[in-house]
Structures are given as C-alpha cells and as structure tokens.
Amino acid sequence: MIKNPIPWPNGAKCACAITFDIDADSLIHISRPNDSHYRLYPISMGRYGPEVAVPRILETYKRLDIKQSFFVPGWCLEQYAPLMENILREGHEIGHHGLIHEDPIETMGSEQTEAFCRAMEIHARICGRSPSGYRAPVYNITPQVIDLLVKNKFIYDSSMMGDDIPYRLQTTKGSLWEIPVHWGCDDWPPFAHYEEIGYMMPVKAPSTALSAFWEEFEVQYLYGGFFMLIVHPFLTGRLARWHLVDRWLEDTLKNKKVWFAPLEKIVAYIEKLVDDGLYNPRTDKLPYYISQIKP
C-alpha cells in the first residue's frame, strides 16, 4: 500500500523516530506577551518539560541505546542551555524550531527572517553547529521559510503532511527532504489542555491515547514504512505516559525489526540510496500555488 517503500538498513521493516518539541514555557510567553510572567501555572507546566521530563526521556534513550531528534526554539536553547549540552553529549540531534515558537504565518516578511536568523545564531553559540533540520511552530511552514531553509543549507524540514514516508521538496532555489508529520501521531490532540493559548482538548488516558499511536506504528511496520511521533516533554513526558512509552520501546526493540535513528541520519541514509541509484523518491514542487485561490 506504500507505492515506493524505502529499503531500510540491516533488514529493518520500519524506520522509527520519537521526536520531541521542547517548547517549554515559550508557549505562554509568545501567546500572552503582556502578562505571561505573572502566569505561574502555565510557566510551571512548560518548565516541567526541560526540568523533569527530558532527563527522564534521556535516561530511557541511554538505557536502550537510542539516538533521536529534539526540536527547540532558540529562546529555549538559551534558557535551558545545560540541558541542551546534555542532549548533544548523549548523541542526539537538536533541530530549529523558531525563535520563541512564533507562528510563521503571523510573522511573514522581515520579522520572520529576523527571528529565523537570530535562532540560527543561538544554535551556533549553544550547540556549536548549524542545525540540519527544521520543524515549524504549529506546522505553519511558508514558502518564505522554505527559501530560508534552502539558503541556509538545511537538509530537511519536518512540518508538512504530503506522504507517509520521507519525500523531496523542489523549489526554483533548491531542494530539501520532507520528513512528514500528521496529527494522528501528535500528542497535542489527546493531551493538550491549555486554555491560555486556546487549546481545550479533552485529556485522554495514557493507554487510550498511546494505543492510537501504536496502531499507526503497526500499519507502517506492516508496509515497510516510516513511523514518527511528534510529542512534547510537558505532555508525553509526564510519568504515566512516558512509563507506557518506555515499555513500548523495550518491547518493540526486542520483538520487531526496526531502526531508530535521528532524522538527520535517516535523511543521510536515504540520500546515499539515491546517490547510489538504489532509490527514486517522490518529489513535490513548490510553491503549490503562486496566488490566492478565489472561487
């Protein structure tokens, strides 16, 4: 049912990534800029991610010898710099996720370019390198951001929803890989209850929410596809939820032929397949439209 499956390494039937967006308390500051510093409950909820959840997640990954990808706004890189050093020291990837989780649709033009470039400067200073990948806040990537990614030699984006497996994006200025996301593998719908930023989801039991993710995995595994979760430490990193993820990881590594890797390594592997003439990816040409569609 996947027309063009990728031949994964070492006989793996599925490539896997549990990727984390470490937004921390940037969400309340970007949403309520006039009084966010007074709002202690949402600040504490966001800070739970880097202060409590991410160390828990890193402990699991270290025990199971898994390397993964984290997407972090530039402001959070600075605010929680020692944690970022730990993430890198453990061999994980840190990707670009805006400056302070600003919406690219709402900041198009010079404001967006400035925020993107300031975040790049922070990455260079805190991480010691430029990021390879990008995920747009709230997935709202724009042609302007795509151009910035190509200009800054990014190798992939992970914000769009155009396929079940990684594919190529081609523009007049260059190309990059797309590592597709979708809401069925995002923890915001089942876990986010956050009135201050406009989300009031009915919070589901960990087993109910996570079982939906595992159903997504089973079908990707069946057809030799690609499984990626897009989750947040202050949501899925909570104790009961991460306990179930930890158990699932142990069971999957023991009983399935899977390949867990950071997204930049997955992309590098696919690129080598293409260079060696062993794989021909699907390509989307951008922009999809050059003007507003009117009835």
Report the greatest alpha carbon distance in the chain.
57
Mean pLDDT, rounded, for 219-232: 98
CA angle at 134 for the pair 243 and 17, rounded to the nearest 5°: 30
Question: What pLDDT does 198 receive?
Answer: 84
The 3 state secondary structure assigned to the chain is: CCCCCCCCHHHCCEEEEEEEECCCCHHHHHHCCCCHHHCHHHHHHHHHHHHHHHHHHHHHHHHHCCCCEEEECHHHHHHCHHHHHHHHHCCCEEEECCCCCCCCCCCCCHHHHHHHHHHHHHHHHHHCCCCCEECCHHHCCCHHHHHHHHHCCCCEECCCCCCCCCEEEEECCEEEEECCCCHHHECHHHHCEEHHHCEECCCCCHHHHHHHHHHHHHHHHHCCCEEEEEECHHHHCCHHHHHHHHHHHHHHHHHCCEEECCHHHHHHHHHHHHHCCCCCCCEEECCCCCCCCCC
What pLDDT digit, counting tens, does each position of 150-188 carry? 999 999 999 999 999 999 999 999 999 999 999 999 999
Mean pLDDT, rounded, for 204-213: 98
Domain count, the chain: 1
* Cα 191 to Cα 232: distance, rounded to the nearest angstrom: 10
Please, which residues have CB within 8 angstroms of residue 89's CB and are 6 or more apart in sequence? Answer: none
pTM value surpassing 0.95: yes
Using alpha carbons, select from 89, 60, 74, 86 the residue that is nearest to residue 24: 74
Q: Is residue 290 one of the residues assigned to a domain? A: no
Using alpha carbons, select from 171, 191, 170, 189 the residue that is nearest to residue 242: 191
Question: What pLDDT does 204 receive?
Answer: 97
Is pLDDT at 295 greater than 90 in this prediction? Answer: no
Q: Is residue 47 one of the residues assigned to a domain? A: yes
Question: What pLDDT does 184 receive?
Answer: 97
Q: Is residue 232 one of the residues assigned to a domain? A: yes
Beta-bridge mates of residue 257: none
Enclosing domain of residue 157: 17-285
Kindly report the number of other CB atoms within 10 A of residue 129's CB atom: 10
Mean pLDDT, rounded, for 103-116: 97
Which CATH number fits the domain that encloses residue 248? Answer: 3.20.20.370
What pLDDT digit, counting tens, does each position of 67-102 carry? 999 999 999 999 999 999 999 999 999 999 999 999
Question: What pLDDT does 124 receive?
Answer: 98
| Stronger pLDDT, 195 or 152, i.e. the higher one | 152
Q: What are the tokens at 53?
A: 């959840």
Is pLDDT at 286 greater than 90 in this prediction? Answer: yes
Using alpha carbons, select from 257, 246, 190 the residue that is nearest to residue 59: 246
Confidence category of residue 197, pLDDT binned at 50, 70, 90: confident
Strands 14-21 and 226-231: parallel
* Cα 70 to Cα 105: distance, rounded to the nearest angstrom: 22
Question: What pLDDT does 238 receive?
Answer: 98
Mean pLDDT, rounded, for 207-235: 98
Q: Is residue 152 one of the residues assigned to a domain? A: yes
